[in-house]
Structure 1
């Protein structure tokens, strides 16, 4: 494929002066993934009716969007005990202009290639954190007229819901429309920088999300597993396949007759069982599944509409492979459902208290383990599955039409998976999953045959 050439790199700052100063981050901002999360959009050639310049349109509207979402134009800085705070200094974000002589025809053949990675802005985490932009975007024009727009957003500042809120409003501004939802920027609703009121510690919260994950039986660390080559696959579940899974899981003895299992619980249980089979676990192998839960509506009072920050927290469902495989799907779905139901207001508040009282947050942050074989919970025998099912993912229009393809950016962590609604809106879903090369074909086989 033709090389991708960087033509210009711009620093984009808010269009008007914004509040400046030190901005405390909430506890949930500072743990787990605090590096940048990538997504990518592909567009057909802009129609003749689009009179503007693509790069200028993006640059000008981005500047105006940053006026409302000014925390994204700031920089992180380290505090003692590996805490972070946000310096709202309007230093700006990065917009890269690139081009390629390639004819972009089939997106699926492009995913996971080295060329694909070059469409996504790169972040050098060896640089001082005070110098790293919190938001980066790259627009690449292809010879065929198609365009890609990839973005990377710091997870220390926003979660998926907030990131997509920003992108949606950026698109609206580019189309000349007013903001739909003004961002709610005050994180003190999650006691950022403040002492929690007296609160009884929840007996259900043990901080296990931050403890050492299970290892393969017989291993003392995960070094060798983390060295193994991985591959990404996008696997579709049709509406009829989902109906088969639903009837299977909701007629099981583990289902709550009044509620049944959700799509996420059902599909994630299926993925967990398939991964255990594909990896060839022994029956007694412990395995953990990381689940991201949005707490916006689970805290009391619920977070304000447009809350701009991190309001998702990780919980872990645990089992042993033999139990997952020999029991019906409802068993795995039930483990997941129970872990999600545990996330109550009390659970969230005692989780915040746990982190506030922890001497050092370094062990909970992925930035310290980049490029090493330590760190994230994912990897054989564990996995994580994040749901994008309820996020406003599609329809990002900057004035030249909606995207023809949207998906996650580069992702090479074994067991790390995403569940997305299919853009066709026919009720089907897409599983984007990363597995070891040696396990992927077996995973695909079980994924479809076990339905």
Structure 2
């Protein structure tokens, strides 16, 4: 049971610019909710002593530079979201839980973690325009000195920025809280107009854009309703740097084979190798018919895919969707890992600048704008991305995001997870806490298939049949 001790509204500690912040097409198509990032800190030798006033003060300083974060979402007559930079502030909650640090185990995402450690966000009884863009909950665990620790959950609005940008914000706040000075590297680039489309209406498609089309259904089904109604669970799966390199070696076998264009392909990345492994294990665990069509859908950061590239401190969504070619489950499970890895690579290599611009122009059509207006008027639900669960898969890569730099003065977090259970099959790949090449996969999977998935996940790393 969690007890809320106090709730604070934190605003910038200096006057900040007022007005509306234009949001790009990539912002408009982001999931219309908050993402709860959960950091777990454990006392190394003695009790973690945190000063809530110090946390409030440091946050108020950072909000001066990230002033849109203290605003609220709003909607235009046309249906585009904007940020009303009104300095209403963010919410910081102090809480205590009756559970000990050890009661949560490895902090695998669960309903218990969501209920105890994550701030409650009421999307139903209050207008969206009144919901803070950031809500923080700092929770102290019960227990003796050996079990002392804190959970810091930071729930951030996805339409305002992507994971890379939000983590930079959180790390900057942590830096200031532990006594660090702000410098140019901490300053966000808030100018979204560099991603403004040259067209006021959606132009004709310039590419086929399979990532915007419906995904395959289970054989014999005409929709995904049955799969959407199945419950999922979560697992935190760890791969050492040696295991990751073993997967990369297997993923890069047969690289003397030519690509469809007839030229030698580049080696598969760490992400492509691990994602291919996840896809393969998912197909095996689901025991799909070998003729079952399946694909993987994921987003990629396009900051460095544009000319000129976006600033690395660009504060917004810079994500483009892509999807593997449609394959058969039998191909994924029976062929070497390099086959699935090449399909992942093909999906990545579609994302050239012209393709990304075309996708973002098309994705924000009249249907999407109408769904945004309906969401704000509470007369309907926002149209979401296609259901990417069984027989398909959604995979997210946070491998290159510095998740463990959020040191508020108590040392680096011992665990980082997302504080919710995703309602469909999804894998999230993050770096290991030691930044030594190891990775952690936060895996959401249907309950009926999870045990088999975990079995294959580790067995297949070592088998020669990879």
Please indicate, yes or no, whether the TM-score normalized by the shorter chain is above 0.5.
yes
Give the gaps of 5 or more residues in structure 1.
none
* Aligned-pair CA distance for 1:107: 4.3
Aligned to 2:175, the other structure's residue is in SS state helix
Determine if the alignment matches structure 1 residue 417 to structure 2 residue 427. Answer: yes
Determine if the alignment matches structure 1 residue 386 to structure 2 residue 396. Answer: yes
Say whether the 8 Å CA contact 1:32–1:365 is kept in structure 2: no
* Aligned-pair CA distance for 1:48: 7.4
Q: What's the counterpart of residue 464 of structure 2?
A: none
* Aligned-pair CA distance for 1:24: 0.9
* Aligned-pair CA distance for 1:85: 1.3
* Aligned-pair CA distance for 1:119: 0.4
Determine if the alignment matches structure 1 residue 450 to structure 2 residue 448. Answer: no
- 79 and 47 in structure 1: CA distance in 2 versus 1, 3 angstrom threshold: farther
Q: What's the counterpart of residue 322 of structure 2?
A: 315
* Aligned-pair CA distance for 1:23: 1.1
Aligned to 2:39, the other structure's residue is in SS state strand
Give per-residue Cα distances to partners, 1:268-291, cap 9 Å, x unaligned.
Answer: 011111111111111221222112
Query: In 1, Cα distance between the equivalents of 2:81 and 2:437?
Result: 41
Q: What's the counterpart of residue 31 of structure 1?
A: 29
Q: What's the counterpart of residue 131 of structure 1?
A: 130
Q: What's the counterpart of residue 187 of structure 1?
A: 192
Candidates 378, 399, 420, aligned match of 2:409: 399
- 68 and 436 in structure 1: CA distance in 2 versus 1, 3 angstrom threshold: same
* Aligned-pair CA distance for 1:207: 4.0
Give per-residue Cα distances to partners, 1:113-137, cap 9 Å, x unaligned.
Answer: 4431120112222231101111111
* Aligned-pair CA distance for 1:309: 0.3
* Aligned-pair CA distance for 1:219: 1.4
Say whether the 8 Å CA contact 1:121–1:137 is kept in structure 2: yes
TM-score for both structures, normalised by structure 2: 0.88
Q: What's the counterpart of residue 244 of structure 1?
A: 246
Query: In 1, Cα distance between the equivalents of 2:285 and 2:222?
Result: 22
Query: In 1, Cα distance between the equivalents of 2:105 and 2:127?
Result: 36
* Aligned-pair CA distance for 1:264: 0.5
- 278 and 212 in structure 1: CA distance in 2 versus 1, 3 angstrom threshold: same
Give per-residue Cα distances to partners, 1:117-164, cap 9 Å, x unaligned.
Answer: 120112222231101111111000122331110011111001011001
Q: State how many pairs are aligned.
A: 445
Q: What's the counterpart of residue 147 of structure 1?
A: 150
Candidates 72, 76, 92, aligned match of 1:79: 76
Give per-residue Cα distances to partners, 1:330-357, cap 9 Å, x unaligned.
Answer: 1111111111111111112222332455
Say whether the 8 Å CA contact 1:210–1:364 is kept in structure 2: no
- 1:40-439 to 2 correspondences below 5 Å: 40-45=38-43, 53-80=50-77, 82-105=79-102, 107-108=104-105, 110-117=107-114, 118-126=116-124, 127-144=126-143, 145-179=148-182, 180-191=185-196, 195-196=198-199, 203=206, 205-253=207-255, 259-317=266-324, 318-355=326-363, 358-361=366-369, 376-439=386-449
* Aligned-pair CA distance for 1:239: 2.3
